[in-house]
Amino acid sequence: MQPYPYIITISSEKGGVGKTTLACNLAVYLRALRESLPVTVLSFDNHFTIDRMFGLEGQKVRGTVREMLEGEPAGALAHTGQYGIDYIPSSTAERLSPLLERFQDPWTLAGLLGESVLPGVVIIDTRPDLNALTRNALFAADQVLVPVKDMASLENCKNIIALAEQRGLERNALALIPCLVDERIKYDGEFRDQKTLLRTFAAERGYRCLDTFISKSPKVESLTTNPDGKIYPILTHARGTEVYGQFREIAQDMLRVLDAVPEPRASFLYRSRAEDDEPRQMEEYPARREGLADHCLICGALLAEHAEGCGFYYETSDRARRGFLHTACFVDLLCAALYGMTRDSQGYGIARLVVSDKARKLVTVISPAVSSGSYRVDFRQFDAGGEQLFHKEVILDTGAEDEGEGINDRLFLLLNEALTGQGAKPGKGPWLAVHPVDPKHPEAVLGEEHYRAVHHVQTLIHGMAGLF
Ligand SMILES: Nc1ncnc2c1ncn2[C@@H]1O[C@H](COP(=O)(O)OP(=O)(O)OP(=O)(O)O)[C@@H](O)[C@H]1O
Ligand SMILES: [Mg+2]
Ligand SMILES: [Zn+2]
């Protein structure tokens, strides 16, 4: 099996918070703590810090980050440099910016790195903004580290957090690190100091904030200014500072997290994309038609007899089951399951319009899970770009007296029938995606072009490890 890298992305929208320092020094520490672990560093920024720290005297380099982004295998561009670190030489901003357009799809970098045959850990240093490359780096990451140093960088990291959330990154895959902490600064009241303030903020939002922070140190600052133009690592040149020990703790923390991961995200994303490509080639239009269910899974009516008003197409995440649903059946089901509303409810007409309107524009993903003894159903809605616009989890009380016109039963039936025999593991899918289609020509969705679009969204959704 080919190796997949474990990707750590360092990101913050605020400049000068210590991203690059963290990226380079984390690499050195990881490698020092675990000799057998290959570590590759690359930067989307253009300050050449990486090259100055890891480049070897007289080393001839071939290719840069730009060539990697253009599709050259990253493994072939990684140069082994100082301290045993592999680095991909940096590019100038002028050479990178024309590529941004190609990275509008947040998948792209994950795909490149998945195919890169890079083993071990890849650390990505990003620019202090959320451009397309940063977004890609966030999307590909197993672990995102966000250095924060003050209230302004805290404000800024909200966008990164929101983006990571939309992209379906698990909450524990993102951690804040208080950086450049000046322990002399004290506040009045509850938040005694910088660290406490940052930690409280992180905790309130359910994010991990590393126990370790990085102190501000004049010695560390001086490591970037040397007569030979080089930049020295903390490990080798700042012994005796607090930062020296803090970096070791952070690296140990990362190793613990890394060791606990069953499968790197790049591997998962790559695999789901490969799985997505295969049936697309193999399975042609007639086969897609052949596989359609003969009845609406909600009302049970045979579609040969009740073909009118089929405005939704569903497919399971493994593509084992597919078919059409009556518009009315699906919309009523959503109203009942999501809002507990039935035809007799007050304001049902309006509510139904709103629900219907959303379902007609978005892809609805329904995924069941059994957790803490109850049967839960997770509803999400995504737009064509794979952006999550709605999320609600409902608990299906299958035992209780059902007021919603048997809605629990019908939902249960739908999921049961569509997803049976797929060995549902709680939290691991499978799931059902419901796409709006033209009720006049529902089967047009199976046509090559339309079906490809359906699958593009489905792949984006599938890529969101940790969602289901
Ligand atoms: N622990 C530290 N103590 C003192 N100075 C530090 C420390 N860490 C980094 N610095 C200094 O702070 C400055 C900014 O650090 P760095 O370049 O790592 O930040 P950055 O977030 O990558 O910045 P940018 O957004 O511009 O890329 C540098 O001059 C660096 O030497
Ligand atoms: Mg930087
Ligand atoms: Zn129906």
Whether residue 218 sits in one domain with residue 312: no
Are 260 and 292 in a shared domain? no
Least confident span in 304-313, 369-378, 430-439: 369-378
Examine residue 391 and state whether it is found in any structural domain, yes or no: yes
Residues with CB under 5 A from ligand 3 (ion): 296, 298-299, 326, 329
Considering the domain architecture, whether residues 157 and 43 belong to the same structural domain is answered as yes
Contact (CB, 8 A) for 48 and 74: no
Q: Per the domain annotation, does 276 fall within a domain?
A: no
Answer whether 45 contacts ligand 1 (Cβ < 6 A). Answer: yes
CA angle 170, 390, 361 (to 5 degrees): 130
Q: Say if CB 14 and CB 129 are below 8 A apart.
A: no
The single residue listed with the structure tokens 């599938």 is: 462
425, pLDDT greater than 60: no
Per-residue pLDDT reduced to its tens digit, 33-58: 999 999 999 999 988 999 999 999 98
d(CA 137, CA 130): 10
pLDDT at 453: 81
Higher local confidence (pLDDT), 302 or 185:
302
Same domain membership, residue 94 and residue 240: yes
Q: Point out the domain boundary residue: 237, 266, 295.
A: 266
Does residue 338 sit in the same domain as residue 252?
no
Evaluate whether residue 288 is within a structural domain. yes
Lookup: tokens for 219: 């010695």
pLDDT at 386: 81
pLDDT for res 424: 43
Q: How far apart are CA 65 and CA 96, in angstroms?
A: 8
Q: How many CB atoms lie within 10 A of CB 402?
A: 14
Q: Is 128 in the pocket of ligand 1 (CB under 6 A)?
A: yes
Answer whether residue 239 shows pLDDT above 50.
Answer: yes
- Whether residue 324 sits in one domain with residue 226: no
321 and 249 together in one domain: no
Does residue 275 fall inside a structural domain? Answer: no
pLDDT of residue 429: 57
- Edge-to-edge strand order for the sheet containing 388-396? 322-325, 312-316, 432-436, 363-371, 374-382, 388-396
Tell me the mean pLDDT in the region 274-282. 50
| Residues contacting residue 212 through CB under 8 Å, at least 6 positions apart | 177, 246, 249, 250, 253
Banded model confidence at residue 465, pLDDT cuts 50, 70, 90 = very low
The domain boundary, picked from 266, 298, 322, lies at: 266
Q: Which of 240, 266, 292 is the last residue of a domain?
A: 266
Q: 362 alpha carbon to ligand 3 midpoint, in Å?
A: 20
For residues 292 and 223, state if they share a domain. Answer: no
pLDDT computed for residue 168 by the predictor:
64
Tell me the C-alpha distance between 164 and 141, whole Å.
10
Predicted pLDDT at 291: 81
Find out whether the beta carbon of 21 lies less than 6 Å from any atom of ligand 1: yes
CA–centroid distance, residue 52 to ligand 2 (Å): 13
Residue 160 has pLDDT above 60, yes or no: yes
Task: Give tens-digit pLDDT for 285-313.
Answer: 777 787 899 999 898 899 999 989 999 99
Residues 196 and 336 in one domain: no
Contact in structure between 362 and 383 (CB atoms under 8 Å): yes
For residue 188, pLDDT beyond 90: no
Which comes out higher in pLDDT, residue 459 or 428?
459
Q: Residue 223 pLDDT > 90, yes or no?
A: yes
277 in a domain, yes or no?
A: no
Ligand closest to 324 (CA) is 3
In this prediction, residues 200-229 reach a mean pLDDT of 86
**Greater pLDDT, 188 or 349:** 349
Distance CA 76, CA 285 (A): 39
Number of domains in the chain: 2
- Which atom of ligand 1 lies nearest, measured to the CA of 45? 27
272 in any annotated domain: no
229 and 305, same domain (yes or no): no
Assess whether the C-beta atom of 68 lies below 6 angstroms from ligand 1. no
Q: How far is the CA of 393 from the centre of ligand 3 (A)?
A: 23
Domain with residue 173: its CATH number is: 3.40.50.300
Dist. CA 229–CA 225, nearest whole Å: 7
With respect to residue 451, please indicate whether it lies within any of the assigned structural domains.
Answer: yes
Same domain? 62 vs 172:
yes
Whether residue 138 lies inside any domain: the answer is: yes
Whether 272 shows a pLDDT value over 80: the answer reads no
pLDDT at 459: 76
For residue 289, the enclosing domain spans 283-462
Q: Say if residue 209 is in the same domain as residue 314.
A: no
Q: Which of 265-269, 286-290, 319-323, 457-461 has the lowest mean pLDDT?
A: 265-269
Distance between CA 459 and CA 218 in Å, rounded? 48
Q: How many CB atoms lie within 10 A of CB 327?
A: 19
Round to whole Å and give the CA distance between 67 and 299: 55
Ligand 1 atom with the shortest distance to the CA of 47: 27
User: Cβ distance 173 to 203 under 8 Å?
Assistant: no
